[in-house]
Amino acid sequence: MTFSESIKTCLNKYANFNGRASRSELWWFQLFYILVAFVASLINDDFFWLSYIALFLPLLAVCVRRLHDKNKSGWWYLMSFVPIANIVLLVWFCQRGTVGTNNFGDDPLAEIAQ
């Protein structure tokens, strides 16, 4: 998935917590989120908070869908509130998801492989 495809997918699935997301979808959207927040903070604090609020739900949704790709419940994302547990989330986000269908849907990379 390319940078622009990832942004388009995440914004189209604005608050959709169902399904699965590939690694590239998560990391490209994370990069987009950081870039938007950086540019917005250079302009004004109000723009920063506006961008933060506007992009919070798509970022949360793509993180939950990424956990679904690992066949884990989205509730595991609550571990992000525990500082040392963020390492576990980071490892899960970096690992390859479940190959084939799992409890949360079809493999997002199966479409690319064909």
Tell me the pLDDT tens digit for each residue of 17-69.
Answer: 998 999 999 999 999 999 999 999 999 989 999 999 999 999 999 999 999 99
Cβ atoms within 10 Å, residue 7? 19
Under DSSP, the state recorded for 83 is G
pTM of the model: 0.88
Residues whose CB falls within 8 Å of the CB of residue 65, separated by 6 or more in sequence, listed in order: 13, 16, 17, 18, 19, 20, 21, 25, 74, 104
Phi first, then psi: give them for residue 105, nearest 5 degrees: 135, -170
- Contact predicate 94/86, CB 8 Å: no
